[in-house]
Structure 1
């Protein structure tokens, strides 16, 4: 599977989990805990493989200042979600109103980030990298993801 298809599949999976979390009620404590744990694990693995493998390849192939801007913006969005919003959500009582608000903010942040990648970075990557390079990156992403999500 090529790198972009693998990353897009991750986006779709996280979107589904976040939608299920948003639709859950304050009474569904176990369901909310389970969903947040799955989301956290998937986001951590996804951001790791992007930052270790895909983003460096994109940056190395980049030719314009816009490519650098996309790269650094994507890193900052990862930081915002992974170091600020997600830890707050993990530490929040799943039966509280605060939980619902934080889940919504995480969902909006992840959706914005995924949409930007899919509309801007991925099409640009298809221009900068050959099919073979994307296939090789896909294999590397898949192998690393398997290590992170046994």
Structure 2
């Protein structure tokens, strides 16, 4: 078991659920609502699990490997993407299920999520496989799976300030990973 594989599995499930929504008759609003509610909760749970477990580990390994700039950029972008996905999911709730506006909002959420997943798969996950040994990835996978299991019913969506997120994680990075000091990560 590897955290990068669990994240990829979650991405597959997200794609699957979006595809299911495209195949349900638009008049079956009960099915559409049920599937969308499951997907919306899953998107947030996945984002929170990444923010609590994966991205701090990516930053820690990147700092230790003196790849601070690369992992910081990837993490800042991911947090911004998660906020965009949260906003898109919230927009879906403003529309009556099955209407053209609802489908347009679902499509916007799908696009935001798809763009994020593709970038994360090319960058963050690839970088982490290069930086973290298999035993570390396994331990994080156990933590990630347990987190998602504990919060199976969902978590409350909360946008995060990307720079504040980096600062909070940076304060927790052990001194042994490098000569990093609080506030030293590059901002843009």
TM range (shorter): over 0.9
Q: Which residue number corresponds to residue 34 of structure 1? A: 34
In structure 1, the gaps of 5 or more residues are none
Q: Which residue number corresponds to residue 78 of structure 2? A: 74
What per-residue deviation string (whole Å, max 9, x for no partner) do you get for residues 16-74 of structure 1? Answer: 00111133343121111011111011111101110001000001111141221111000
What per-residue deviation string (whole Å, max 9, x for no partner) do you get for residues 80-116 of structure 1? Answer: 111x110111231012110010111111111111111
Q: C-alpha distance in 1, partners of 2:23/2:111?
A: 14
In structure 2, the gaps of 5 or more residues are 154-188
Q: Which residue number corresponds to residue 135 of structure 1? A: 138
Q: C-alpha distance in 1, partners of 2:56/2:71?
A: 11
From 148, 151, 163, the counterpart of 1:148? 151
Q: Which residue number corresponds to residue 6 of structure 1? A: 6
**4+ residue stretches of structure 1 with deviation over 3 A?**
none
Q: Which has the higher contact order (CA 8 A, sep 6+)?
A: 1
Aligned residue pairs total 149
Contact 1:89–1:103 (8 Å) recurs in 2: yes
TM-score, L = length of structure 1:
0.94
Q: Which residue number corresponds to residue 180 of structure 2? A: none
Q: What SS is found at the alignment partner of 1:95? A: coil
More helix by share: 1
Q: C-alpha distance in 1, partners of 2:117/2:22?
A: 17
Q: C-alpha distance in 1, partners of 2:68/2:81?
A: 20
From 90, 95, 120, the counterpart of 1:92? 95
Contact 1:36–1:90 (8 Å) recurs in 2: no
Larger radius of gyration: 2
Q: CA RMSD in A?
A: 1.2
